[in-house]
Chains A and B, each alone.
Chain A
């Protein structure tokens, strides 16, 4: 076990310092046969993000620790991880959300269902392949008006939740159906499909519903609600999936 002082980079509110054990599931394909746990002990503030803690480990304790990160405030979707057994963004999870007292341990693992490339970094290609399979783009071949297409505030609001998705994969990689069947498009792709199916300006609704009706589509969902609980953007994913199921049933959005 290694020890170091963490600089409290983000004491947003006055928060006590604590000693924390960070248990990380590590795997380097160039030298490890299988994944193994490594525990680091750090001083941190309750207001620190989990990302601050693992950055600290990387910068001052073990530079080989590998993970993705970019914006550090929950908008880019890079740092989805399994933290204390739950999918979360490391930059949107404060220590006070996951530890009770000094001396506690947090566990950090890669998200599940995608191949681990190194430590906390997984292969995102299958996830984006599913995304691309749902025609994730607006389709309207009618002549464009000189100005905007008109859409009422009420109709625009139907996309409020689904357009909020940042493609972090927290939902899909928490889904038990996806774990056993990687060909299931998964909650994130269905949320993306919802965004276009319920866009009053889009003209490809029928094609989209057909994709959702395939055996890789919405009917795989068994409403486990893991996705809804995992979403760092508070998207009511299960509800959106149910809306898509209804649209497929009645063949209209």
Chain B
């Protein structure tokens, strides 16, 4: 469904992505893991067209997407830090994004809007919201248009435990509907719950891309964090 071949991007001397080739299918939930600055966010930004790669091809449903814009209607994106115009009210942000991309769409997915009781703070200005509440807004927007691909960048960071549980349940429900989900996080227990595969990126290169179950059996560990640690130890030797 989503395919990247030999995707490369450098920022000056730094190779943020180096020949990244992966194929992802609908129904997969992929954890994007790697140390800080390993190229995870650059990879996500390439998918969204925010960063323009130096070389390589990206396809969605076998159509090249680099340099085009309309494919983004199939993607829901929850950024790591959601910042919005200071003076806009929460309700207006929803209206705006609906107006921009909801043309012709009638059935919006407002599960999260209901679960987070957005109506209660819809009249507040964005600048008065706490970081966690803004994350809730970002989450609602990502799921609102029922997209085929969901990209969540550190989704649970900043959310309170209850909100975080609600979001995780929603992600699992969407996964069940056969969507492609990409999650980055440093909280491995969350990823273990949510995802089916691990894509480990380091220094811009794909170190491995495997189903979690396979990863566990390969290392003989029962927990994802232990399995990863054991692999990293092997790599180091």
Q: Do A and B bind each other?
A: no
Residues of A within 8 A of B (CB): none
